[in-house]
Chains A and B, each alone.
Chain A
Amino acid sequence: MGVISFLANPLRFKKFARVAAPIFGVLALVLIVTGIWIGLWRSPEDQLQGHSVRIMYVHVPAVWIGMMAYAAMALASLFAYIWRHPLSDELARACALPGAAFTALGLLSGSLWGKTSWGTFWQWDGRMTSTLILLFLFIGYMAVWAGTPDKRRAARIAGLVAMVGSINLPIIKFSVDWWNTLHQTSSVSMPDAPGLPPSNLLPLMLMTFGYSFFFGWLVLSQVLNSISKAGERRQRPAAASPTMETL
């Protein structure tokens, strides 16, 4: 909680974000380029999946970051509801578009992998359906922001969508255990999971951390830009509608 209350001050947040964002950007670039290089050129093909295992190195991290983005969005919305802090709303809003993009990338790359391994692009199984619902939740959240002229009201409704929709996250996670599904059960995150050989784990982790830092860079940059725009609006009060002021 100490870190959250420290960063809740917009000036301290700006100082932190101005230092952290470029570092995140450089780390993302290095990790993603290295991950793609190893994933496409250096890692061996899988005994069962063949070369299509390489799709996993962009598919799995994309879905993980989509889920992480939604969790961050719901948490920031919760903070906004409790403390009514406009920075939390901006943080939640900044997570939505990158989160939707990563989820869409996860669905697309997953369907391409499914075609090579299962012979079909799509199956209405628990994990695929709940991940598609995650994408719709992101779109719904952004639609509320775009379609509500009063931005304070938009933040309240969108925040509610984010918080209620977070029930979908454990459904995605445990869908492979709860229902019969084409998806395999967890092979990385559980302590008793079968695990992956280092040749598969390395590109997967590089891409996961690369996507995470990329997401962090996008969100911090977006919030910095929002704070800057709000400052400009305050300096031109005649041109701005008071309901547009969120910061």
Chain B
Amino acid sequence: MDFIPDFGKSALYVWLSYGVSVTVLLAFTAHTLIQNAKRKK
């Protein structure tokens, strides 16, 4: 598992910040792509 960096005592907070941010961006992306596909039909 060398490709997963070790952020020491901040690890939980760093991964949580990025995890929530990426999840929200992906949710917006999925919603927008679905709406765009409906529009183009």
Q: Is there contact, CB below 8 Å, between A54 and B7? A: yes
In angstroms, Cα B5 to Cα A59, docked, is: 20
| Total chain B interface residues with beta-carbon distance under 8 A | 22
Q: List residues of chain A with CB under 8 Å of any chain B CB.
A: 32, 36, 39-41, 50-52, 54-55, 58-59, 62, 98, 101, 105, 108-109, 112-113, 115-116, 214, 217-218, 221-222, 224-225, 228
The answer on a CB contact under 8 Å between B35 and A51 is no
Rounded to whole angstroms, the CA-CA distance of A51 and B32 in the bound complex is 33
Residues 6-41 of chain B, each 1 if its beta carbon lies under 8 Å from chain A, else 0? 011111011011101110110010001001101100
Q: How far is the CA of A112 from the CA of B38 in the complex (A)?
A: 38
Q: Which residue of B lies closest to A58 (CB)?
A: B21
The A-B contact count (CB < 8 A) is 70
Chain B's closest residue to A232 (CB) is: B39
A228: B residues at CB distance < 8 A: 39
Asked if residues B21 and A105 are in contact (CB atoms below 8 Å), the reply is yes
Known A98-B28, A113-B13, A221-B35: A51·B18 in contact at CB below 8 Å:
no
Secondary structure call for the B interface: helix
The answer to whether B21 touches A54, judged by C-beta atoms less than 8 angstroms apart, is no
Q: A52-B14, A55-B17, A116-B10 are in contact. Are A36 and B32 (CB under 8 A)?
A: no
Tell me the smallest distance from the CB of A44 to a CB of chain B, in Å: 11
What are 16 A-B pairs at a CB distance below 8 A?
Answer: A36-B22, A39-B18, A50-B10, A51-B7, A54-B18, A105-B21, A105-B24, A108-B20, A109-B17, A113-B17, A116-B9, A116-B10, A116-B13, A218-B28, A221-B32, A221-B35
